[in-house]
Structure 1
């Protein structure tokens, strides 16, 4: 899980690094795209979660034909929904990015990048859902290899297409999007070959309308809430990007670099958030609330210690990282400031993410959704905005840590209360059976 997610996240990080060599305006432009691109990726992630849960159930029940039918429907559904969203995004590039604070000069660069990236986003839909089909069938290795290969292709093509090489002209920021398009298209073609020809995990035909509607309902029943929860993050990030934009292109460039680095720095948290829920679900179903509590507390302690070590490393390496991602001194100083403050809250953010996953595992999806809303729109965005009003960018960075602290405390107390409730219910049930 860690390998696959690292390679997926390196797309944005590698793009950011090479685009940063073009200049501050280009770096600011690609930083503006992060909330929008992550929205499309969130839909892909949600559909993948829905597909995996649905298909895995049929594989486990020995109903291979139904598993193949639902896998085929999930692929068709993802291509259709992401395609529609991409078209809408393409038609509204100007209004959306003006809304979050892009300048006319940056809009030109954003158009160059996003016109290609939206097509790339559609090409990502099939590999992400296809990888979920592979995981549901018991293969966790191949999806990581596919994502790793895509990351390698992107990393090789980025400098060639951005800066030019031999007969290949320098395409600037658009070259980064083309590199991503080629990488994801390669993954799309391979995953379809793998699923249809080599593994036979999908039907060798398109579903008819009734089949498509039936499979789509099952996938969306799980996929839409998961996608919606994922989409809250880029929406909140878009609001804060607009706030940061009031401090100039240098601040936006810093914010973009920081967001990409955060994804890599939090990779262990994300991997745990995918591996802890099955453990909790199994023990919850077995009535072992004691083991649910033990595993939850163990993971909470681990992420707090782990992310504290990550924070120390980022603090020490902040001057080198800032120099790698910034040509201008002002941008380098802001990146260093970001890395010396914001990562202190990553462990607290890990508590929130793991609690959210645990709520879902305990069959409390509304609690998980409520926690996401409270985290982003009651604490993170308002507190960060207040910090920016009081102490500018430094205040915004510090306030983000404070917001994570408040939300983590609430999440921890909330989940512990749920465990006590389940303990009580279990005790009552046991007494009833004994009586």
Structure 2
């Protein structure tokens, strides 16, 4: 354990927001770079292979959403008690989060491998795309615990105010994946040519590297609270229950969002493989906005949690407004790029003229919703830090469920075609952002309590 306690409950608020956000934003970019690198290399195999990986992305969102139960709960509890300087409870919460995550990984991995093919049946993709995507997903689901644990450790570090350690590890993980991708996909040198499954294996190996680095750093005392891997820890039902209570609403919202996207992909697929490729390109371009906002959201979660723990709710609120200001500026710039040079952006991913036209339309429509997406994501971070995730769940569920029928109506009843899918995404994003902003402004989240109890023996195990 290092003796340096990170204090983000004092000092300049905008400076603290930026100090926490820039490493988090960078780490998110590196994490998404894994999927972009996979798509770029796999795209050289052909459109079917690229469509398989792109379609798999929606199922991977479900995987991430399921683990949000643990990640979100850990951030809320660890940041709150870290801000209150109750370090025994912080350590206990972190250890219980690991127990919960590993226990959840077993059924998630098994069921994911079994039902991977059914996900493609829902999306109505071509058989060759489904077969390729199933092999890709089964590898990722089978090894998902290797992804869950590094992300959980990253969440714990961020909750204490250390966003630089996760950035460092994300950088190493990304470059590991960049090196392994072409080797395993195309069989360069002594490596076998595996194709699409090779991209999945490269990702898994990079997860192993990330997990190993976190373990080494934690054992070396990188965390600012006492944490010992070697001691046996009994499951604490009260603490695990609180983690699940906080994490479940956003996890449910995330799973719903992802499942709805499977059906949105089904609508898109009815317009051809080119439309699916365009959807993937648009999503990867939008990830620039999303990841910037999500990085600030992670910073906000920590700032809100620690400041509420320190008894400073107004400082917590100001942190959120500054984060909205910064993300509003960044998404405004990105929106202009989507509007002014959509063809240039789309052509950077693929040479197919038809795909470029469809993707360009998608980018121009998305440009209208980027700032509202920033509001939505930052507000989710604020509610997470407060441990009050129910508002974000309600808004997300309503918005997600509305997307599918709205897309059907615009695409077919109004005769807009595949652009109706893009309009459905944009309109619901705008509504969700406005709704969460209103809910946050009411201020009830400031009085949200996180109640956990543990025996003295349990706390001393940390």
CA-based RMSD of the aligned residues comes to 3.0
Is the Cα contact below 8 Å between 1:342 and 1:397 reproduced in 2?
yes
Is the Cα contact below 8 Å between 2:184 and 2:198 reproduced in 1?
yes
* Residues 150-209 of structure 1 deviation map (CA, whole Å, 9 limit, x = unaligned): 11111121122112212223221111101101100111122222223554853333645x
Indicate whether 1:16 and 2:39 are aligned: yes
Is the Cα contact below 8 Å between 1:9 and 1:264 reproduced in 2?
no
* Residues 260-318 of structure 1 deviation map (CA, whole Å, 9 limit, x = unaligned): 222222222212223335555647986876x7776655554554443222022233443
Indicate whether 1:74 and 2:97 are aligned: yes
After TM superposition, give the deviation of residue 252 of structure 1 in Å: 1.1
- 1:6 alignment counterpart: 29
**Secondary structure of 1:344's match?**
coil
**Secondary structure of 1:204's match?**
coil
Out of 403-412 and 146-155, give the one that drifted further. 403-412
Is the Cα contact below 8 Å between 2:296 and 2:378 reproduced in 1?
yes
* Residues 349-403 of structure 1 deviation map (CA, whole Å, 9 limit, x = unaligned): 222233344445566533222111122223x333233222220112322343233
- 2:430 alignment counterpart: 405
Indicate whether 1:251 and 2:269 are aligned: no
Is the Cα contact below 8 Å between 1:21 and 1:326 reproduced in 2?
no
Out of 140-149 and 296-305, give the one that drifted further. 296-305
- 1:429 alignment counterpart: none
Please give the TM-score of this superposition, normalised by the length of structure 2: 0.81
Indicate whether 1:315 and 2:334 are aligned: no
Is the Cα contact below 8 Å between 1:47 and 1:220 reproduced in 2?
yes
Higher relative contact order (CA closer than 8 Å, sequence separation 6+): 2
Q: Distance in 2 between matches of 1:374 and 1:215?
A: 30
Aligned CA distance change for structure 1 residues 120 and 327 (closer, same or farther; 3 Å): farther
Q: Distance in 2 between matches of 1:374 and 1:60?
A: 33
Is the Cα contact below 8 Å between 1:45 and 1:128 reproduced in 2?
no
Indicate whether 1:118 and 2:141 are aligned: yes
1:374 to 383, 398, 413: 398
- 2:227 alignment counterpart: 202
Aligned CA distance change for structure 1 residues 125 and 280 (closer, same or farther; 3 Å): closer
Is the Cα contact below 8 Å between 1:126 and 1:188 reproduced in 2?
yes
- 1:221 alignment counterpart: 245
**Secondary structure of 1:326's match?**
coil
Indicate whether 1:234 and 2:258 are aligned: yes
Is the Cα contact below 8 Å between 1:150 and 1:186 reproduced in 2?
yes
Q: Distance in 1 between matches of 2:318 and 2:162?
A: 29
After TM superposition, give the deviation of residue 88 of structure 1 in Å: 0.3
**Secondary structure of 1:205's match?**
coil
Please give the TM-score of this superposition, normalised by the length of structure 1: 0.85
Q: Distance in 2 between matches of 1:138 and 1:422?
A: 21
| Aligned residue pair count | 418
2:116 to 71, 93, 103: 93
Q: Distance in 1 between matches of 2:286 and 2:364?
A: 13
- 2:49 alignment counterpart: 26
Aligned CA distance change for structure 1 residues 247 and 141 (closer, same or farther; 3 Å): same
Is the Cα contact below 8 Å between 1:41 and 1:121 reproduced in 2?
no
After TM superposition, give the deviation of residue 64 of structure 1 in Å: 4.6
- 2:366 alignment counterpart: 342
Is the Cα contact below 8 Å between 1:384 and 1:403 reproduced in 2?
no
Aligned CA distance change for structure 1 residues 122 and 287 (closer, same or farther; 3 Å): closer
After TM superposition, give the deviation of residue 99 of structure 1 in Å: 1.5
* Residues 245-265 of structure 1 deviation map (CA, whole Å, 9 limit, x = unaligned): 111111111112222222222
- 1:427 alignment counterpart: none
Is the Cα contact below 8 Å between 2:97 and 2:240 reproduced in 1?
yes
| Residue ranges of structure 2 left out of the alignment (5+ in a row) | 1-23, 447-462
Q: Distance in 2 between matches of 1:298 and 1:382?
A: 36
Out of 142-151 and 323-332, give the one that drifted further. 323-332
Indicate whether 1:383 and 2:406 are aligned: yes
- 2:14 alignment counterpart: none
Is the Cα contact below 8 Å between 2:250 and 2:390 reproduced in 1?
no
After TM superposition, give the deviation of residue 69 of structure 1 in Å: 4.0
* Residues 80-134 of structure 1 deviation map (CA, whole Å, 9 limit, x = unaligned): 2123201101011222221221222112211221221113422111111122233
Out of 163-172 and 311-320, give the one that drifted further. 311-320
Once the two structures are superposed, the pairs formed by residues 294-333 of structure 1 within 5 Å of their partners are 299-300=323-324, 302-333=326-357
Per residue, is there more helix in 1 or in 2? 1
**Secondary structure of 2:144's match?**
helix
After TM superposition, give the deviation of residue 60 of structure 1 in Å: 5.2
Aligned CA distance change for structure 1 residues 360 and 164 (closer, same or farther; 3 Å): closer
Q: Distance in 1 between matches of 2:383 and 2:90?
A: 27
Out of 47-56 and 4-13, give the one that drifted further. 47-56
Q: Distance in 2 between matches of 1:54 and 1:63?
A: 11
1:148 to 171, 174, 178: 171
Aligned CA distance change for structure 1 residues 227 and 411 (closer, same or farther; 3 Å): closer
Is the Cα contact below 8 Å between 1:345 and 1:404 reproduced in 2?
yes
Is the Cα contact below 8 Å between 1:383 and 1:403 reproduced in 2?
no
| Residue ranges of structure 1 left out of the alignment (5+ in a row) | 424-435
- 2:452 alignment counterpart: none
